[in-house]
Amino acid sequence: SKIFAFSIRKDEEPYLKEWAAAHPNVTVDYTDQLLTPATAKLAQGADGVVVYQQLDYTSETLQALADQGVTKMSLRNVGVDNIDMAKAKELGFSITNVPVYSPNAIAEHAAIQAARILRQTKRLDAKMARGDLHWAPTIGREVRDQTVGVIGTGHIGRVFMQIMEGFGAKVIAYDVFKNPELAAQGYYVDSLDDLYKQADVVSLHVPAMKSNYHMINSQALAKMKDDAVLVNVSRGPLVDTDAVIQALDNGKLFGFVMDTYEDEVGVFNADWSAKAFPDARLKNLIDRPNVLVTPHTAFYTTHAVRNMVVKAFDNNLALVEGRPAETPVKIE
């Protein structure tokens, strides 16, 4: 059988080669290009494709793949919010993702950045860089003195809870799907409002859906404690960026951790250092001393990348060979 992979980065190549070497009966070919209606023809003759991109898998893109006879598609990431599911269903696609490549990668990043906000390290670093070795005003807040409110208690949210408890924080959680073990231990509050009211740190660990678009809007922010810290390492559209900027401007928020951004597609994972920066609102956030922006790199560790590649190829081979894949995506 033959599997073709799109948008393979340099850091993924060794893991792709490792997988190919372990599967000598499978022909593996790849490109560094994204999957678009124009590049879909590269998959000609393949039985399945392995993909990752933040660019939408539009109806045209899916149609272009299907026109090559390819309807078995394995994502190397977890999020499926950028797939035209109605079209995938119409064309009879089978899709897999990798829901658990390394929850620790994302949870650790959230914890590290939240702790950096609490200790004001960005302000301190800037002071040090200009030779100002005063202590004030960068006094820190200890993690153990915080109530950490975790929205979404899937794999990532649960690891984040453990890390923050390791620091001694009080952890509370909200989820529409209650994890029975966490419920028995009394972690869940009854409503988001309860969580906003109690939490010093609010951290998002939910997938993006139509129903939670801009769930962190001005009303939600108003319900939070003064000097709350907001952490979004999940999906940009969950957060109304303008409302957050307002809450930073009026001092409601103590700080903001932002690894995902509602307008990130085409902006993140590109080098703007020698070009005009394309997004003034994003630049405004990057320049703030109490905002830590990273370009969707919470997931980006050696551990995660290896699992993303290997698990996606395992899944795709299962689809191609007509076996049940380990992590199919529900197409509905």
Active site members? 235, 264, 296
Q: Is the peptide bond before 137 cis (omega within 30 degrees of 0)?
A: yes
Contact residue for ligand COI among 74, 77, 232, 315 (CB under 6 A): 77
Q: Which is nearer to ligand COI, 208 or 228 (CB)?
A: 208
Instruction: Tell me: does residue 78 bind ligand COI (CB under 6 A).
Output: yes
Per CB under 6 A, which region of 16-24, 72-80, 154-162, 184-192 contacts ligand COI? 72-80
Query: What is the smallest separation between the CB atom of 260 and ligand COI, expressed in angstroms?
Result: 7
Distances in whole angstroms, Cα of residue 211 to Cα of each of 23, 188, 206, 239: 42, 21, 11, 13
Q: Does the CA dihedral 327-159-247-269 come out positive or negative? A: negative
Distances in whole angstroms, Cα of residue 142 to Cα of each of 108, 117, 124, 164, 256: 17, 11, 16, 11, 17
59: which 2 tokens?
């109806």
Query: What is the smallest separation between the CB atom of 299 and ligand COI, expressed in angstroms?
Result: 4
Query: What is the smallest separation between the CB atom of 182 and ligand COI, expressed in angstroms?
Result: 23
For residue 94, which amino acid is it? S
Contact residue for ligand COI among 79, 289, 295, 328 (CB under 6 A): 79
Provide the b/e sequence for 55-76 (b: ≥16 CB within 10 Å): eebbeebbebbbebebbbbbbb
Query: What is the smallest separation between the CB atom of 117 and ligand COI, expressed in angstroms?
Result: 21
Instruction: Tell me: does residue 6 bind ligand COI (CB under 6 A).
Output: no
Per CB under 6 A, which region of 63-71, 73-81, 170-178, 309-317 contacts ligand COI? 73-81
Taking only Cα atoms into account, the Rg of the chain, rounded to an integer number of angstroms, comes to 21
> Which residues in the 26-65 window bind ligand COI by CB under 6 A?
52, 54
Per CB under 6 A, which region of 77-85, 172-180, 238-246, 282-290 contacts ligand COI? 77-85
For residue 29, which amino acid is it? D
Q: Which is nearer to ligand COI, 83 or 292 (CB)?
A: 83
Instruction: Tell me: does residue 72 bind ligand COI (CB under 6 A).
Output: no
Contact residue for ligand COI among 299, 312, 320, 327 (CB under 6 A): 299
Burial (0-12, 13-18, 19+ Cβ within 10 Å), 191: exposed
Taking alpha carbons only, the member of 23, 65, 81 closest to residue 315 is 23
Q: Which is nearer to ligand COI, 103 or 221 (CB)?
A: 103
How far is C-alpha 263 from the chain's CA centre? 14
Q: Which residues contact 38 (CB under 8 A, 6 or more apart)?
A: 64
Beta pairing class for 72-75 and 27-30: unpaired
Query: What is the smallest separation between the CB atom of 222 and ligand COI, expressed in angstroms?
Result: 28
Instruction: Tell me: does residue 296 bind ligand COI (CB under 6 A).
Output: yes
CA angle centred on 73, ends 72 and 74, rounded to 5°: 130
Q: Which is nearer to ligand COI, 269 or 290 (CB)?
A: 269
Q: What share of the chain is helix, strand, coil (3-state, %, to 5)?
A: 40, 15, 45
Per CB under 6 A, which region of 74-82, 184-192, 223-231, 276-284 contacts ligand COI? 74-82
Query: What is the smallest separation between the CB atom of 305 and ligand COI, expressed in angstroms?
Result: 9
Residues found near ligand COI in the complex (CB under 6 A): 52, 54, 77-79, 296, 299
